[in-house]
A and B are shown apart, each in its own frame.
Chain A
Amino acid sequence: MAQFGEQTASGHLHVSPESKAPYDADVLAQLRADAETIIARYPVPRSALLPMLHLVQSVDGYITGRGIAVCAEMLDLTLAEVSAVATFYTQYKRHPNGEYTVGVCTNTLCAIMGGDEIWQSVSEHLGIGHDETTADGKITLERIECNAACDYAPVVMTNWEFFDNQTPESTVQLVDDLRAGKDVTPTRGPNKVCTFKQTSRLLAGFNDGLADEGVSAGPASTEGTRLARAKGWVAPGDDAPQANEEVHP
């Protein structure tokens, strides 16, 4: 972790006053009810903390002071204990996040396959840098680490859905579409990308019912499977299929 918190010169973690403003009663009631559901999944309540922080982001769009307070109170932790956890993980945002997080992988393999060029184009196009948000509140741009999709490099994630084999042009188009309010479809994911708050609710463990949308696997994931089928290769005990050579022209 290169940086711990948004710290003031005196070293204090900065929590803005508006992020401490109390929740409306109905919002709070729902938040607490959802949090109870999460806590019930675990033998020990504290295990609920990570999903509860995702839940806070689903309501507030980032980790707020009031969200930290609710987690602390419900799990019998101190504010410092909750803050320590919230500042450790990169998915927890310390200031209001855009409606869409666009993450460009710039770890070695993606960077070399074009991630650096993508990052540069989209950052210039939007006029923002890492962990910054466009003035319209639509897009937060991030440099991300390896997202386990190296066979689709260069990879861009939008609210943690896969956009495989991207180019600078496709990514600029992606952010333009998002800013224009158009639906965008991930390469491997649901029919359209959810908002940051919706995705955060999913990550809190609330199934959004979209599992049956999208592909089973992308083309790179099935290269070996298709090659084996074309060559008639099987695992021991499996019947050899008819070799069919249609797979790779």
Chain B
Amino acid sequence: MGYDLKLRVWRGDASGGGLNEYAVQVEEGEVVLDAIHRLQATQAGDLAVRWNCKAGKCGSCSAEINGRPRLLCMTRLADFAEGDVITVTPMRSFPVIRDLVTDVSYNYEKAREVPSFAPTPRDPDGKRRMMQVDVERGQEFRKCIECFLCQNTCHVVRDHDHNKPAFAGPRFFLRYAELDMHPLDTNDRRKLSQDAAGLGMCNITKCCTEVCPEGIKITDNAIIPMKERVADRKYDPVVWLGSKIFKRGDRASREEV
């Protein structure tokens, strides 16, 4: 059952590097991360790779396998023929630290820029009420494991580092949309997402959706509705007027941030 896998792994750091070839003993049912771990334990003790859960839950092990952005722990060797060479390289849109580990601080910076959740007060009994149907969309977005594969893939920043300062990226459009659709939030982040977060730079190519290991419909369910909401805000004078008169609980009562 076991066989020798031909593995090519990018080794190096900020100053440069290249693909190294290895032969690694692998077993039935294993994933690429298993092969990387065996390589580390037997041939390359200092091979740098991130991982935690090994079950697609933490989003640590993102890399590119034969050029495709994927989770190492959810890519099964059975998807390749035994003779295939598997090439593993670090995510391309982030600066390399060492081997398969990249500097993803861009994402943590963008996270800091999202104005936080600001709920309405609790009900008199100290609890809050929301209907399941009203939280489901937000729940879909909150399945995000922050693997940053979508951020890595989006062509607005892939190979276009100069766009990074003005572009939050699909993962954070998801976050803006989640808050915007939260039944109890009181902030209006539409202007911010359009201007500072760069929603306008997205031309809905859906590449982000394609790589999302959680299957979140980033473009259809978050970005496009968010763009529509932004358009509403910009052009609909009634909504603008409404925002001055309606009560809490309506979108209109949200505070622009």
Say if A and B assemble together: no
| Chain A residues close to B by CB (< 8 Å) | none
